[in-house]
């Protein structure tokens, strides 16, 4: 468990770390880094993802509630509060995100999705004890929800509790009915298993989905090199697509490289993941947790 005073100080300097990534980039370029790091280091995302759209969505929800003629049910108000919270999360305003997610939970306490939203937002601001409690509450309400199990696995992974992470990734795959892309669980379970047993590297990931991030599965399995993966990301049709896949690839490859002993490039990738400034992405939260723990 993290020391709270130390954690608070570390979270306070994360913004400085992000702003200092240009110096990391220069260091990386001088040490013949990977193609993904070279590509990512040339990016400079100064704003959060879809900020203007999120602000308009918040205003729209608040206006609709204020102008509604009929009395809204707790469930209807909670759903609106949840959407407002999510849009604040996109903006990187996790304090207001936490407020609205908590409001939804207070109105409808037996909704596992609302509990999960609150857990993730608390985790984003470094409230790991409170986040763990909400993960537990969500799990008690629905122990077969694949996305919840995956996120709980992520949480355990970032606490370096790799056997528990493997347990929850495996449960998530068991209860996945095709609604969620399973490649995320396969990748993270494999990396967690590597931390437990390095001999796991002799095996390959068996995946039934060919959707992104299948290209990362191919990289881990030795079926695609890093330059090929980088080119795939570069060739996305718009900058948002590039930004999203960069965030995920930088975290997953960074974690994989650390687990396999390439610590320098792994740490640089996770640092660059923060440079994508996508606070609503769980990979960004995981990168933030990794940096705060060091």
* Predicted pLDDT at 32: 54
Asked if residue 87 belongs to a domain, the reply is yes
Structure-token pair, residue 277: 């400034």
Residue with more model confidence, 64 or 31: 64
What are 5-50's pLDDT values in tens digits? 444 444 444 444 443 444 444 444 434 568 999 999 999 998 888 7
Which H or E element spans position 165? helix 162-174
Residues of the domain holding 234: 4-143+225-293
Q: Is residue 249 part of a domain?
A: yes
Tell me, what CATH number does 63's domain have? Answer: 1.25.40.10
Q: Is residue 213 part of a domain?
A: no
Task: In whole angstroms, give the CA distance from residue 73 to residue 138.
Answer: 22
> What tokens were used for 48?
């959060």
Distances (CA, A) of 163 to 34, 166, 168, 203: 30, 5, 9, 18
pLDDT, tens digit, 9 for 90 and up, residues 39-61: 999 999 988 887 888 999 999 98
Is 72 inside a domain boundary? yes
Token output for 107: 């109105």
Number of domains in the chain: 1
For range 66-79, the mean pLDDT = 90
Enclosing H/E stretch for 239: helix 239-259
Average pLDDT over residues 236-245: 95
Assign 212 to helix, strand or coil: coil
Paired tokens of 2: 């993290």
Q: Find the mean pLDDT for residues 139-161.
A: 98
pLDDT for res 16: 42
Residue 162 falls inside a structural domain: no
| Predicted pLDDT at 222 | 97
Which whole number is the average pLDDT over 217-231?
97
Q: For residue 281, give the DSSP letter.
A: S
Q: What is the pLDDT of residues 151-205, one digit of tens each?
A: 999 999 999 999 999 999 999 999 998 878 999 999 999 999 999 999 999 999 9
């Amino acid at each position: 468990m993290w020391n709270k005073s130390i954690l608070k100080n570390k979270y306070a300097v994360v913004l400085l770390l992000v702003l200092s990534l240009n110096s990391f980039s220069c260091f990386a370029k001088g040490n013949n880094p990977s193609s993904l790091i070279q590509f990512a280091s040339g990016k400079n995302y100064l704003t959060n993802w879809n900020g203007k759209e999120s602000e308009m969505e918040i205003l729209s929800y608040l206006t609709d509630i204020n102008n509604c003629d009929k009395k809204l049910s707790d469930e209807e108000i909670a759903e609106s509060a949840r959407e407002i919270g999510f849009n604040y999360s996109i903006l990187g305003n996790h304090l207001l995100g936490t407020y609205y997610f908590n409001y939804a939970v207070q109105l409808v306490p037996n909704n596992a999705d609302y509990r999960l939203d609150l857990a993730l937002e608390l985790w984003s601001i470094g409230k790991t004890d409170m986040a763990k409690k909400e993960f537990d509450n969500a799990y008690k309400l629905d122990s077969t929800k694949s996305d919840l199990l995956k996120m709980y696995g992520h949480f355990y992974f970032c606490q370096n509790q790799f056997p528990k992470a493997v347990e929850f990734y495996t449960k998530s795959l068991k209860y996945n009915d095709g609604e969620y892309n399973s490649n995320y669980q396969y990748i993270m379970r494999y990396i967690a298993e590597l931390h437990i047993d390095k001999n796991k590297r002799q095996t390959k990931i068996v995946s039934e989905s060919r959707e992104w991030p299948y290209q990362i599965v191919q990289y881990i399995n030795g079926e695609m090199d890093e330059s090929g993966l980088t080119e795939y990301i570069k060739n996305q049709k718009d900058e948002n697509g590039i930004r999203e896949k960069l965030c995920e690839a930088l975290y997953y490859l960074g974690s994989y490289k650390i687990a396999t002993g390439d610590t320098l490039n792994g740490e640089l990738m996770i640092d660059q993941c923060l440079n994508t400034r996508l606070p609503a992405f769980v990979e960004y939260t995981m990168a933030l947790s990794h940096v705060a723990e060091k």
